[in-house]
């Protein structure tokens, strides 16, 4: 019985190693002053990126106050 368990465990290990992992070609965007348009998306496609992260911009006025301030009128998108 112990040998059967070892064989099953080994097969699961081999199955996990044999799986092909897909490479992530990613880009990240930090909040911009301009709205995103098709021209920006075309550049991402040109880079062969298959993932994109958009990082919003926010800030904290004081370290003692944990309130995050974002999307004010004078602030960038995000």
On whether the CB atoms of residues 77 and 33 are closer than 8 A, the answer is yes
Residue 77 lies in a domain: yes
**Statement: residue 56 has pLDDT above 60:** yes
Residue 71 structural domain: 25-78
Say how many C-beta atoms besides its own lie within 10 A of residue 52's C-beta: 14
Domain count, the chain: 1
Residue 1 lies in a domain: no
Own/partner long-range contacts of 3-10 (Cβ < 8 Å, ≥24 apart): none
pLDDT of residue 13: 72
pLDDT of residue 17: 57
Please write the tens of the pLDDT for every residue from 10-49: 777 766 655 566 788 899 887 777 778 899 889 888 999 8
pLDDT of residue 46: 92
Residue 38 lies in a domain: yes
Answer yes or no: pTM beyond 0.75. no
**Statement: residue 78 has pLDDT above 70:** no
**Of the candidates 20, 78, 32, 24, which has an alpha carbon nearest to the alpha carbon of residue 52?**
24
Mention every residue, 6+ apart, whose C-beta is less than 8 A from residue 7: none
| Helix (H), strand (E) at residue 54 | strand 51-55
Residue 17 lies in a domain: no
Work out the average pLDDT over 49-74: 81
Residue 16 lies in a domain: no
């Amino acid at each position: 019985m112990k040998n059967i368990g070892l064989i099953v465990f080994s097969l699961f290990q081999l199955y996990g190693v044999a799986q092909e992992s897909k490479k992530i070609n990613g880009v990240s965007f930090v909040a911009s002053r301009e709205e995103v348009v098709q021209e920006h998306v075309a550049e991402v496609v040109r880079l062969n990126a298959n993932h994109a992260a958009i990082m919003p911009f926010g800030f904290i006025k004081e370290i003692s106050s944990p309130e995050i301030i974002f999307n004010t009128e004078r602030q960038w998108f995000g």
